[in-house]
Amino acid sequence: MPLDEQLPTHTEVEGVRIDVRHWIGGRRVAGASTFADISPIDETEIAQVHAGTATEVDAAVAAAREAFPAWAAMPVAERSAILRRVAEGVEARVEELARVETRDNGSLLRSHRRGVMPRVAMNFRFFADYAEQLAHPDMEVRGHRERISYDPAGVVAIITPWNAPLMLATWRIGPALAAGNTVVLKPPEWAPLTASLLADIMAEAGVPDGVFNVVQGTGTEAGAPLSAHPGINRLSFTGSVPTAGRVAAAAAPNIVPLSFELGGKSPLVVFEDCDLDLAVNLTVEQFDNAGQVCLGAFRVLVADSIAAEFTERVLEKAKQVVQGDPRDEATDISALVSRVHFDRVRGFVERAIEGGARPILGGGPNEELGGLFFRPTILVDAKPGSEILTEEVFGPVLTIQTFSDEEEAVAMANDTRFGLAATLVTGDPDRAERVSARLNAGTVWVNCFFVRDLGAPFGGNGRSGIGREGGIWSFDFYTDVKNTVFAPAGWTVAGSEEGSDG
């Protein structure tokens, strides 16, 4: 019996019919087995998704390589027009995408409707527009003209996480396709369903067969052979530091350029001259998405002169955070994504308490809701250098520490192997300039949080990643930047008697 008849081909989630097979070369392809997709809301199975292996990865890379020459040669205006149709397709299905992703990864439905899915559409539209304007002025040296161009690199492998699967995937897919590359996407096994819906949208928008491919599966069975595949030309990975190490090792023999967005242990530095209402609001905002946000500022550092009042007000506001079903408009935070991750977060908190940290809010599972709901937690008195202060928890867990002066605040903020982001709250413009310049982070927010234009660079220092994406930085990565040097008109000999570089 054909595989398509042996295994389920579709599932229905929140009234949306979804094909659970791979998308390779412009058609649905069955796998030899499936894996269970479990909703974190109630830990029920919502799909049996076809599991990819090296076989499907080989097929997807081959399809992408076959499609690459025509897509790369297509005039940029035509490529961009297709990607704008993809954006329109996303916008037409925002409600469906929002409902499916909420059920799949447990994030708030209201956030998906109002922010996340519209941003998915923006990822395509922004980079489509940017590609049409992409240019570098000619340079001149000793009468020679140097032309800088951006050539498509080839096949781009994109491996994405579960905390914002569609938004984070399209943040890479958009510029990769706009630059003229073809793509093989490996979505997260804990939240794979919206990637399949995106494949449908791509096809409806007229994306040629093989330009966009989706291979579902685990990191071991699908991610590893994709990372190691000799047919890929770029690799973008978002996830944990340990997994990044394995991905880099797999890609290294093929000398594949990498872009990594990894973990964080970001500080939120609150000075005594701050707007205290703002500082409190920014602190409690870190519980967004149940703390499953790489950019979250979970190490709260506050001036000791205002620490008591600040902490009291943070507690008062945090107690108003509503935890529950993410499909309810009244809910502020929902469940953690899986049982494995829930146990990991709980282990961090339990070890911190055993080591002397004191919970002043939460500290464990939400017994009233059960399942994968972990209470918003605030810990104080953690010992310097302890695990809870140095390792990424990726859950709704904040620590509060105090500092005595600006020098100590900067030292504490930078006392981390990570360097993804930092948030600074101060009422002194000079201090804002002075301290932000000294913070070791790819992004620093001053008196704000989570604000960034798609044209700005994004990435982390240290163990938070490799490279930058956004605007021109995306095209620097997803293209081969070429310099073509033209001799002055009328020259008939190669080179220059005046000397050359090289």
Active site (catalytic) residues: 261, 294
136 vs 476: CA distance, rounded Å: 12
258-261 vs 234-238, strand pairing mode: parallel
DSSP string, 331-355: -SB---S-HHHHHHHHHHHHHHHHT
Cα dihedral sign, 89-168-317-451: negative
Retrieve residue 9's tokens.
């081909």
How long, in residues, is the chain? 502
Retrieve residue 176's tokens.
């990769």
Question: What residues does 462 pair with on adjacent strands?
Answer: 418
Sheet holding 234-238, edge to edge: 27-29, 22-24, 212-214, 182-186, 155-159, 234-238, 258-261, 465-466
Q: Supply angle C-alpha 97, 33, 219, rounded to 5.
A: 65
Radius of gyration, CA atoms only, the chain: 24
Q: Which helix (H) or strand (E) holds 64?
A: helix 54-73
DSSP string, 293-318: -TT---EEEEETTTHHHHHHHHHHHH
Question: What residues does 185 pair with on adjacent strands?
Answer: 158, 214
Which residue type, as a one-letter code, is found at position 198?
A: L
Strands (E), 105-174: 139-141, 144-152, 155-159
Q: Phi, psi at residue 247, to the nearest 5°?
A: -65, -45
Long-range pairs, 384-387, Cβ under 8 A, ≥24: 386/352, 386/355, 386/356, 386/357, 387/348, 387/351, 387/352, 387/355
155-159 vs 144-152, strand pairing mode: unpaired
Cα dihedral sign, 68-31-173-161: negative
- Phi and psi based region of residue 23 (left: phi greater than 0; alpha: psi -120 to 50; beta: remaining): beta
Cα 356 vs. chain centroid, distance in angstroms? 33
